[in-house]
A and B are shown apart, each in its own frame.
Chain A
Amino acid sequence: MTTLLNFKDLRAYYGQVQALHGLSFSLNEGSLTTLLGANGAGKTTTLRAICNMVRSTGGIEFDGKPLNNRSTESIVRFGIAHVPQGRGTFTTMTVEENLQLGAITRKDSAGIVSDIERMYAHFPVLKQRHTQQAGTLSGGEQQMLAVARALMLRPRLMLLDEPSFGLAPLVVRDLFGILGKINREDKVSILVVEQNAQLALELADQAYVIETGRIVMSGNAKDIANNEEIRKSYLGY
């Protein structure tokens, strides 16, 4: 297995406040990895550091190439699609325009058209609503749209920040099912940050547990899920 994403001693700062204290981990090509931890542990910051949306030091390598000091918009062109917390929907635009924006860096217009159809097949509800303003969609539909928008990039790596946030449990099950399918069928590597540890561990193959800006546990998702001690002390279920 080849390493797709690799961190070495990553430190991140909000102004004077240090949020990550030397994170090191790696993510294999084709894997579905989850990053778990409590509120304020640094999960979102880790994702933001990958896309250079927060000041950080240390090494981040994607497919062997360093990502540090590149602008957010140029990192996207490596094939890294980031679905931010709160979904980042373009609420005043239509569903279809949101999908087109996901592919804005691509040049192959025929491929974009067929990919939009593919997304409608993945998420039929988006097809029904394709002329509707995205802001009028329900939370679950907006999350589907955010994932679909990210996939329009034809990413190699998809970063998801708390996709389950604010969604009904059934909708979350649905969404995670789709994520698993995308990972298996479209060979997109996924790094998902979650507070819903139980569900994330069912879905993922690899897991990292983060606490106050440090990795405290890592390994096979099944093992972590089966280790009662870890579950009780870090994951709270």
Chain B
Amino acid sequence: MELFTNQVLAGIATGAIYACMALAVVMIYQAIDHLNFAQGEMAMFSTFISWQLMQWGVSYWAAFVITLAFSFVAGIAIERILFKPLAKAPVLTNVAGFIALFAIINSSAGLIWDFTIKQYPTPFGSAPFLGSQLISTHQAGMIGVTVLLLLGLYFFFQYTRIGLAMRAAASVPESARLVGINTSWMVALGWGMATAIGSIAGMLVAPVVFLEPNMMGGVLIYGFAAAVLGGLSSPLGAVTGGFLVGIFENLVGTYIPGVGNELKLPIALALIISVLVVKPAGLFGRPIVKRV
């Protein structure tokens, strides 16, 4: 029983990371109807920025905040430079854009910081959380940060005018323009926020997986699985999906013989395919219904 509880709690902790990634993916998907394959690399690059700042002697939380700001601006810049011109382009052109972005960021990170793995600090420490052996303080911190982030986003989208405008621009762009919303900038803002959220995921997961240019590969696939499971049109779904995928991954790895650590990743891919076959809209997503 202790093993079970332990695995579930650890699953929730890693699920928090998947939830952040899924949230970032969903935010961009809502804004431009495409999956950002480079989301993980963007998060990795941001994490390197924070690491570099700490190498230069900046304290953890200062580096954290500077990285958030950097990521926000970088996300907007990427949208303006690369994806705004592609707004009316076919899906495949966009996919090519994402893959190019993936390769560019991955190689630049390798070029600047090389491919050796690096230790990344945790601000929460790694002692047992509240004296319990079940989860560490870092894992508890990951869950806490994710929950705070969610509450903040909920407040932003529900109670601020700019949040309202962003939701309007994502749901009915033409009507949004007709009430005077600059939908193009709302998309850019969505990119900025998604990139900042992704950077939080990167900085939280780096102490666990160690910092290196390929660290987000697996995480992003879990993030996609979470987003698909929860429904690509629903931020709440993305987060729920994140936690579920985290728990599912751990339980399958522990209890199904032969899966172990090596086969955990195919589990995520199998999950994506199963959801797409059985319930394409995901748990919380609304099926797209068109009146004909």
Binding site for B on A (CB under 8 A): 51, 53, 71-74, 76-77, 81-82, 84, 88-93, 97, 100-102, 104-105, 149, 153
Report whether A149 and B177 are in contact in the complex, using a CB–CB cutoff of 8 Å.
Answer: no
| Alpha-carbon distance A73/B175, docked complex (angstroms) | 10
Which residues on B sit within 8 Å (CB–CB) of A72? 177-178
Report whether B183 and A101 are in contact in the complex, using a CB–CB cutoff of 8 Å.
Answer: no
Report whether A104 and B164 are in contact in the complex, using a CB–CB cutoff of 8 Å.
Answer: yes
Report whether B168 and A90 are in contact in the complex, using a CB–CB cutoff of 8 Å.
Answer: yes
Residue of B nearest to A105 (CB): B180
* In the complex, chain B residues 155-177 whose Cβ is within 8 Å of any chain A Cβ: 161, 164-165, 167-168, 171-172, 174-177
14 A-B pairs with C-beta separation under 8 A: A73-B177, A73-B181, A76-B178, A76-B180, A84-B178, A88-B174, A90-B168, A90-B175, A93-B164, A93-B168, A100-B161, A101-B176, A102-B179, A104-B164
> How distant is B90 from chain A, measured CB to nearest CB, in Å?
17
| Alpha-carbon distance A149/B183, docked complex (angstroms) | 18
Which residues on B sit within 8 Å (CB–CB) of A74? 180
Q: Does B182 contact A (CB under 8 A)?
A: yes
Residue of B nearest to A152 (CB): B179
Residue of A nearest to B167 (CB): A93
Which residues on B sit within 8 Å (CB–CB) of A97? 164
Report whether A88 and B172 are in contact in the complex, using a CB–CB cutoff of 8 Å.
Answer: yes
Which residues on B sit within 8 Å (CB–CB) of A51? 178
Chain B interface residue count: which class?
10 to 19
| Alpha-carbon distance A101/B175, docked complex (angstroms) | 10
| Alpha-carbon distance A92/B164, docked complex (angstroms) | 12
Extra pairs beyond A53-B177, A73-B183, A101-B176 (11, CB < 8 Å): A51-B178, A71-B182, A84-B175, A88-B174, A88-B178, A90-B175, A92-B171, A101-B165, A101-B181, A104-B161, A149-B179
Report whether A73 and B168 are in contact in the complex, using a CB–CB cutoff of 8 Å.
Answer: no
- Flag B70-81 by CB within 8 Å of A: 1 or 0 each: 000000000000
Which residues on B sit within 8 Å (CB–CB) of A90? 168, 171-172, 175
| Alpha-carbon distance A93/B175, docked complex (angstroms) | 13
Which residues on A sit within 8 Å (CB–CB) of B168? 90, 93, 101, 104
> How distant is A33 from chain B, measured CB to nearest CB, in Å?
20
- Flag B147-161 by CB within 8 Å of A: 1 or 0 each: 000000000000001
> How distant is A157 from chain B, measured CB to nearest CB, in Å?
13
> How distant is B157 from chain A, measured CB to nearest CB, in Å?
11
- Flag B259-290 by CB within 8 Å of A: 1 or 0 each: 00000000000000000000000000010000
| Alpha-carbon distance A81/B177, docked complex (angstroms) | 11
Report whether A88 and B181 are in contact in the complex, using a CB–CB cutoff of 8 Å.
Answer: no
| Alpha-carbon distance A202/B167, docked complex (angstroms) | 39
> How distant is A110 from chain B, measured CB to nearest CB, in Å?
14
| Alpha-carbon distance A88/B169, docked complex (angstroms) | 12
| Alpha-carbon distance A105/B168, docked complex (angstroms) | 13
Which residues on A sit within 8 Å (CB–CB) of B161? 100, 104
Which residues on B sit within 8 Å (CB–CB) of A91? 171-172
Q: Which are the 9 A-B pairs with shortest beta-carbon distances?
A: A76-B180, A88-B175, A105-B180, A72-B177, A82-B178, A73-B177, A73-B180, A73-B182, A101-B179
> How distant is A183 from chain B, measured CB to nearest CB, in Å?
20
Which residues on B sit within 8 Å (CB–CB) of A93? 164, 167-168, 171
* In the complex, chain B residues 176-228 whose Cβ is within 8 Å of any chain A Cβ: 176-183
Between B161, B171, B178, the greatest number of chain A beta carbons within 10 A of the residue's beta carbon is seen for: B178
Report whether A153 and B174 are in contact in the complex, using a CB–CB cutoff of 8 Å.
Answer: no
| Alpha-carbon distance A73/B171, docked complex (angstroms) | 16
| Alpha-carbon distance A158/B286, docked complex (angstroms) | 33
Which residues on A sit within 8 Å (CB–CB) of B175? 84, 88-90
Which residues on B sit within 8 Å (CB–CB) of A104? 161, 164-165, 168, 179-181
Which residues on B sit within 8 Å (CB–CB) of A73? 177, 180-183
> How distant is A128 from chain B, measured CB to nearest CB, in Å?
22
Residue of A nearest to B175 (CB): A88
> How distant is A232 from chain B, measured CB to nearest CB, in Å?
34
Which residues on A sit within 8 Å (CB–CB) of B180? 73-74, 76-77, 104-105, 153
Which residues on B sit within 8 Å (CB–CB) of A89? 172, 175
* In the complex, chain B residues 77-124 whose Cβ is within 8 Å of any chain A Cβ: none
